[in-house]
């Protein structure tokens, strides 16, 4: 009986163990992030870079963005925050992400969709550049091992 209990506990630990937090070293992660940095929505101009993968329909990502704007004076002077739009498959937010990427003011559209929850400005016409950007970010996220939103990285390390 004792061995069965130990076996079940071991099996439970193996099944319930969380995914790896990061698939690559911080150095490789930083190099990968550099390749998509120009595709990010940038908030602030501080010395410390924070790279965050978010999904516009994810409640936790929405809370994260709301918190950033609530504390903008403190945060934006210390940090430069790079927001990468990356879809959670179950949320089916690809059209939302492409609509944000396809506008001239991505930050404004991000706020409309994530904070105001106004979906009336979604479009069904996307440029080839928006589609390539969407795929580039998805490829980097897969290599790094992004598995949750928001997925926050500082100095190439997940936080």
Instruction: Please state the domain extents for the chain.
Output: 23-158
> What predicted TM-score, i.e. pTM, was given to this entire model?
0.85
Is residue 137 predicted with pLDDT exceeding 70? yes
Q: Domain spanning 23-158 has what CATH number?
A: 3.40.30.10
pLDDT tens track for 88-100: 999 999 999 999 9
C-beta of residue 145 within 8 angstroms of C-beta of residue 39: no
Q: Which two tokens stand for residue 153?
A: 């990285």
Phi, psi values for residue 151, rounded to 5°: -110, 105
Phi, psi values for residue 128, rounded to 5°: -60, -35
- Neighbouring residues of 147: CB distance < 8 A, sequence distance ≥ 6: 19
pLDDT tens track for 17-68: 455 568 999 999 999 999 999 999 999 999 999 999 999 999 999 999 999 9
């Amino acid at each position: 009986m004792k061995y069965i209990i130990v076996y079940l506990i071991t099996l439970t630990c193996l099944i319930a163990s969380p995914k790896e937090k990061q698939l690559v070293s911080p150095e490789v992660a930083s190099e990968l992030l550099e390749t998509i940095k120009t595709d990010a929505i940038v908030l602030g101009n501080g010395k410390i870079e924070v790279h965050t993968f978010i999904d516009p329909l994810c409640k936790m990502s929405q809370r994260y963005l709301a918190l950033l704007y609530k504390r903008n004076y403190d945060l934006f002077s210390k940090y430069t925050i790079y927001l990468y739009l990356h879809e959670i498959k179950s949320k089916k937010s690809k059209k939302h992400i492409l609509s944000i990427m396809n506008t001239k003011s991505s930050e404004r559209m991000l706020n409309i969709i994530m904070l105001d929850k106004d979906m009336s400005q979604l479009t069904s016409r996307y440029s080839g550049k928006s589609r390539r950007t969407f795929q580039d970010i998805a490829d980097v996220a897969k290599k790094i091992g992004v598995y949750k939103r928001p997925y926050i990285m500082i100095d190439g390390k997940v936080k």
